[in-house]
Amino acid sequence: MQRFEISDKDAMGRIGRLETPHGKIETPALMPVINPNIEFIPAKDMKKFGAEILITNAYIIYRTPELREKAIKKGVHGVLEVDIPVMTDSGSYQLMVYGDVEISNEEILKFQIDIGSDIIVPLDVPTPPDADYGTALSDLEVTLQREREALKLERGDRLLALPIQGSTHMDLRRRCAEEVVKMGGDVYPIGGIVPLMDTYRFYNLVKIILEVKSVLPSYAPVHLFGAGHPMVFALAVALGCDLFDSAAYALYAKDDRYLTPHGTKKLEELQYFPCSCPICLEYTPEELRRMDKDERQRLIAEHNLWVSFEEIRRIKQAIKEDNLFELVECRIRSHPNLLFAWRQIREYGWLLEQYDPSMKHSFLYSGVESCYRPAVLRHHERVLNVELPDKDEIIISTDEGVLADFYLRPAFGVVPIEMLESYPAGHAEIPPSELLEDEALEIAVQGLKRFLDHHSDRRFVIVASGKWLEFLKDLPENAVVKHDKP
Ligand code: GUN
Ligand code: ZN
């Protein structure tokens, strides 16, 4: 049965609905992690921040006799005192951190089923980044074996998550993705990535997501396991991730760290709160610093939740307005590692192309990454099929004051007159070429060269001025460049 329905799309992101036994949730969704042992922010208060679904740890419940007894009697929803969907994790994270867990795959799966979890997770093996190939491969075989075992269990209408592992070995990530799709899960978490996020290795993170997405079908809901920092949400959604889970709100608060969509602040360095959540309106950083530790940590955790859910809503609105690329291009400027991680989309144009809607309202240029959007690539393809006027010499001008058959625009390259007013080239807000990064002109000229080669039997005059002249070199023989203002 298809449990995931997609209603809106932008970049590789989407707004969807995932059906669980406790009702539908809207994605992208952030699942706050509830530690069933520690009453920090009670699960029942999570709704007020915007949570529609929670995640807790079945292994911790299982290992704590009072909780286990209560869970068997009243279910996991009874333990957390909520009636919204609850996903349970299996203890794999403990396996990663402590190297061992005292439970079998089958036991923890059956326990999750018994306590009425909405989304159950097998005991996958999270291989850390940079593991040697042999280790990653043998861990992967164990993971896949456990996932096959999970499929055999009667689980009623509960959803089954089939995590994707493989460390930083891209062929293993792809292979795992292929296998789990063949098995047919309900949710596909990308696992083993927390160490990458903790060390800001976003390059590897983005690569893994893109490789996995290149294998998964578009209708598969993807969970980014352990991603809870709002600075990565926009990027991850734009790459096609639908679910996040956050212990970050609590873990960071315990070290007096304050989350923002641009990164993390230490409470000690803040004179002002750059936020208008109820906590930041009521207190100053100095007042928080003077509080006792427990109270302070709870308030920081609350702020962390407010900003995290605010970012999720902002992303959903960006999808509705089809400007998710613009939002991501802002967010990646918060850290250089995000910036060059995102630039990898350049090598995955064929993949983004499959997802990104071809009609949008506008195109706001924010840097060279804007040139890597599918809108630009598509334009370069499309213009090759435009019919040429029946003339001996076809005029292409860089200056729109000059009468010509085609114009040369940054990023987009050759634009026929009839496309001057339409999306994307005609709706693009791009700074004047004189002020622009060279790459935006280089990409345009690459497009021009393809266009000229494509029409090698025709003759072209390129009327150019200013900075364009530096880039209009080594053109094919069917083109001559004329200075616009000699
Ligand atoms: N939590 C964070 N990372 C992981 C992972 O790789 N697997 C599971 N099951 N839980 C996680
Ligand atoms: Zn705040």
pLDDT tens digits along 333-365: 999 999 999 999 999 999 999 999 999 999 999
Cα 262 to Cα 278: distance, rounded to the nearest angstrom = 20
Q: What is the mean pLDDT of the chain?
A: 97
Q: For ligand 1, say whether the CB of 93 is within 6 Å of any of its atoms.
A: yes
pLDDT at residue 249 in the model: 97
pLDDT at residue 97 in the model: 86
pLDDT at residue 1 in the model: 65
pLDDT at residue 485 in the model: 72
Quick one: which atom of ligand 1 is closest to the CA of 193? 3
DSSP state, 157? T
Ligand 2 center to 284 CA (angstroms) = 10
Residues sharing a CB contact under 8 Å with residue 85, sequence separation 6 or more, in sequence order: 20, 21, 22, 23, 25, 52, 53, 54, 118, 119
Give the ligand whose atoms come closest to the C-alpha of residue 191: 1
Ligand 1 center to 436 CA (angstroms) = 43
Q: How confident is the model at residue 486 (pLDDT cuts 50, 70, 90)?
A: low
Cα 119 to Cα 59: distance, rounded to the nearest angstrom = 14
Cα 62 to Cα 66: distance, rounded to the nearest angstrom = 9
pLDDT of 293-316, one tens digit each? Answer: 999 999 999 999 999 999 999 999
- Pull the structure tokens for residue 185: 């899960």
Residue 21, phi then psi, degrees to nearest 5: -60, -25
| Positions marked active-site | 89
Work out the average pLDDT over 248-277. 98
Q: For ligand 1, say whether the CB of 121 is within 6 Å of any of its atoms.
A: yes
As separate numbers, helices (DSSP H) first and strands (DSSP E) second, the chain gives 20, 20
Cα 284 to Cα 286: distance, rounded to the nearest angstrom = 5
DSSP strands (E only) in 150-234: 159-160, 188-190, 222-224
Work out the average pLDDT over 124-141. 98
Q: For ligand 1, say whether the CB of 246 is within 6 Å of any of its atoms.
A: no
Residue from 89, 11, 62, 66 nearest 342 by CA: 11
Q: For ligand 1, say whether the CB of 248 is within 6 Å of any of its atoms.
A: no
Quote the pTM value: 0.97
Work out the average pLDDT over 265-284. 98
Report the sign of the C-alpha dihedral through residues 215, 220, 225, 229, in that order. Answer: positive
Quick check: 277 pLDDT over 90?
yes
* Type of residue numbered 99: G
pLDDT of 184-196, one tens digit each? Answer: 999 999 999 999 9
Residue from 395, 249, 399, 386 nearest 312 by CA: 249
pLDDT at residue 212 in the model: 98
Quick one: which atom of ligand 1 is closest to the CA of 165? 6
Cα 227 to Cα 408: distance, rounded to the nearest angstrom = 42
Give the ligand whose atoms come closest to the C-alpha of residue 267: 2
Q: Cα dist. 107→59, 61, 110, 114 in Å?
A: 10, 13, 5, 10
Ligand 1 center to 223 CA (angstroms) = 10
Ligand 2 center to 483 CA (angstroms) = 56
Ligand 1 center to 226 CA (angstroms) = 7
Quick one: which atom of ligand 1 is closest to the CA of 191? 6
Work out the average pLDDT over 366-383. 97
Angle between helices 324-331 and 293-320 (to 10 degrees): 140
Q: Cα dist. 370→9, 245, 325, 410, 447 in Å?
A: 18, 29, 8, 11, 15
Ligand 1, pocket-test mutation among 92, 121, 209, most atoms within 8 A of CB = 92
Quick one: which atom of ligand 1 is closest to the CA of 192? 6
Give the ligand whose atoms come closest to the C-alpha of residue 276: 2
Local structure of 99: helix, strand or coil = coil
Q: For ligand 1, say whether the CB of 192 is within 6 Å of any of its atoms.
A: yes
